Amino acid sequence: MIYLPILVFALIYAAASFVWELPLLVAGAYLVISLTCFVAYAIDKSAARNGGWRTPERTLLLLGLACGWPGALLAQQWLRHKTAKRSFQQMFWVTLVANILGFLWLASRLAVR
């Protein structure tokens, strides 16, 4: 059930690609930034375990907002990181919704007509 947002976004993305003929660069951006976000979570999780320098929560949230939220969601589940802190989770879901709304707005303007 926790992976439902990724499935829903994949369907939204597919529909937007069909309707607006999105450039492949958009999918590439989501892929690269999601991977970057996943790595940032992994580094932060390692630092949390070892008492090292932590990645600021703001940075993790901004990476998620900037198309990295699928990677963040996977990292949260697979690494069991940042799932218990309620304030972080609330902001994470706000950034997820904001990204999807922003995606739809930008996709409609980037459309190849």
Number of DSSP helices (H) and strands (E) in the chain, helices first: 5, 0
- Residue 31, judged by CB atoms within 10 A of its CB (0-12, 13-18, 19+), counts as middle
Is residue 16 very low, low, confident or very high in pLDDT (cuts 50, 70, 90)? very high
Out of 5-19, 23-37, 99-113, pick the least confident. Answer: 99-113
pLDDT in the model for residue 81: 95
Tally of structural domains, the chain:
1
Say how many C-beta atoms besides its own lie within 10 A of residue 62's C-beta: 13
Residues 6+ apart with CB under 8 A from 45: 75, 79, 81
Q: What pTM did the predictor assign?
A: 0.92
CA distances from 21 to 14, 24, 58, 79, 98 (A): 10, 9, 33, 35, 22
Question: In whole angstroms, what separates CA 42 from the centre of its chain?
Answer: 14
Task: Show the domain range for 56.
Answer: 4-110
**CA angle, residues 18, 23, 29, in degrees to nearest 5:** 115
- pLDDT of 72 strictly over 60: yes
